[in-house]
């Protein structure tokens, strides 16, 4: 199971002045879908990679692999 570091993601989005709707528009998905990935309710590599790109981080810094 992959666990999102929700507070860190939200902090970085704010720091980079990026809104969830901006990422959603970039990917052609809904802002709600992006929000679900950030809050750990969904897991999709495409959205996770976009969030990492927009926050200038690696996916491994934002999501923890918990098995």
User: For residue 13, is it within any domain?
Assistant: yes
Q: Is it the case that residue 67 has pLDDT exceeding 80?
A: no
User: For residue 67, is it within any domain?
Assistant: no
Distance of alpha carbon 65 from alpha carbon 21, whole angstroms: 26
Q: Is it the case that residue 64 has pLDDT exceeding 60?
A: yes
Q: How far is residue 20 CA from its own chain's centroid?
A: 8
> What is the CATH classification number for the domain harbouring 34?
1.10.260.40
User: For residue 44, is it within any domain?
Assistant: yes
Domain total of the chain: 1
Its sign, for the CA torsion 34, 40, 44, 50, is: positive
Please report the pLDDT score of residue 3 as a whole number: 87
User: For residue 19, is it within any domain?
Assistant: yes
Could you report the per-residue pLDDT of 9-59, keeping only the tens digit for each?
Answer: 999 999 999 999 999 999 999 999 999 999 999 989 999 999 999 999 999
Structural domain boundaries, residue 16 = 2-59
Please report the pLDDT score of residue 1 as a whole number: 63
């Amino acid at each position: 199971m992959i666990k999102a570091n929700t507070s860190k993601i939200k902090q970085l989005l704010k720091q980079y002045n990026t809104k969830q709707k901006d990422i959603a528009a970039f990917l052609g998905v809904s802002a709600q879908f992006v929000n679900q990935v950030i809050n750990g309710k969904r897991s999709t590599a495409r959205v996770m990679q976009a969030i990492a790109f927009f926050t200038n981080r690696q996916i491994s810094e934002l999501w923890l692999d918990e098995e």
